[in-house]
Structure 1
Amino acid sequence: MTDNRRAFIKKSVALGGYSLIATGGLLGSSDANAEWLPDTSILQQTLKRLFKAQDIIASDKIAIQIPKTAENGAAVPITVTSSLNNVESIAILVEKNPIPLAAKFELSPDLEPFVSTRLKLAESSVVMVIVETGEGFYSAGEKVIVTVGGCEI
């Protein structure tokens, strides 16, 4: 019976000491903790994941029709057209939304590059459009100011 009690006490002291060391951060790896530190914005991380760090070139061949000032951020109309050739997809991103990717449209080569939708904007921010063609990625952006509180996302 004494052996069981001693074993229990040894294990309890060891587990308690390990718990204190682990919660104090003394056993953590600095490399593992470095991954938790945000070094780029959420928009940059989203662009990296979606387009695999490809070069995105600013283009004047992408037309964005969106109000410069929106009274309500819950439903902001946007229309995107492009005069680029071989458009494969159009992605719409909102810089300051918790999830920047608002919409992504995969287009058939037979379709005209034209999309229209409504966006939710959490606050005033830049709306970015990325067009993927057979030759690469092209972008354009517009700043939208939300006057009333924005939306609850």
Structure 2
Amino acid sequence: MQTRREMLGKSAAVAAMLGSLGLLPTAAHAAYAQAAFDAKTMAELMKALGAGAPTESKDVTIQGPDIAENGAVVPVGCSTALPGVKRMLLLVEKNPSLMVAMFDVTDAIDASFNTRVKMGQSSNVFAVAMMADGKVLFAQKEVKVTLGGCGG
């Protein structure tokens, strides 16, 4: 029976061999559009993503509280039942970074997402649906924050 020390020694030898052959993965990084996350306005964001001007639509819905007691964890969600959605975005107008989430959508999944965002102050929150035909549709909701999450 092998001891734990012997097993770790053999594992290290195997890892070194795989590393020398270039078979170990390098650091993984999430792919995202840096310019999109750096955008400060809706127009800058749409330009960075190569999209046109957004139009308000009743087919896109946004869920969230009217009043968030703690801005550090505000539950929000976005959804649409429209066919041909390629990307969903969640935006917080008065945050340092306008875009707080971007979800790529395929035909295999429903365009319905929930997450928690950080909000430093009361602001409009937008759910944006980018369609395959180039249309950009959005819905908005005002969320009032009583205790700031971004240092407030």
Note closer, same or farther for the CA distance 1:47–1:77 as it changes in structure 2 (3 Å cut): same
Q: Residue 110 of structure 1: CA displacement?
A: 1.3
Say if 2:43 and 2:53, in contact at 8 Å, map to a contact too: no
Larger radius of gyration: 1
- d(CA) in 1 for partners of 2:127 and 2:98? 11
- d(CA) in 1 for partners of 2:78 and 2:48? 19
Q: Residue 72 of structure 1: CA displacement?
A: 0.4
Q: Residue 81 of structure 1: CA displacement?
A: 1.4
TM-score by length of 1: 0.67
- d(CA) in 2 for partners of 1:83 and 1:108? 13
What residue is the counterpart of 1:83 in the other structure? 81
- d(CA) in 2 for partners of 1:92 and 1:113? 12
What residue is the counterpart of 2:149 in the other structure? 150
What residue is the counterpart of 1:141 in the other structure? 140
- d(CA) in 1 for partners of 2:42 and 2:62? 21
Note closer, same or farther for the CA distance 1:63–1:44 as it changes in structure 2 (3 Å cut): closer
SS of corresponding position for 2:96: coil
Which ranges in structure 2 are unaligned for 5 or more consecutive residues? 1-38
What percent identity do the matched residue pairs reach? 32
Say if 1:72 and 1:151, in contact at 8 Å, map to a contact too: no
Aligned length: 113
Q: Residue 152 of structure 1: CA displacement?
A: 2.7
- d(CA) in 1 for partners of 2:71 and 2:115? 14
Return the structure number with greater helix share.
1
TM-score by length of 2: 0.68
Q: Residue 132 of structure 1: CA displacement?
A: 0.8
What residue is the counterpart of 2:62 in the other structure? 64
- d(CA) in 2 for partners of 1:72 and 1:121? 9
Q: Deviations over 1:60-112 (max 9, x none)?
A: 01111100100000010112110211111101111000111100000111111
SS of corresponding position for 1:55: coil
What residue is the counterpart of 1:111 in the other structure? 109
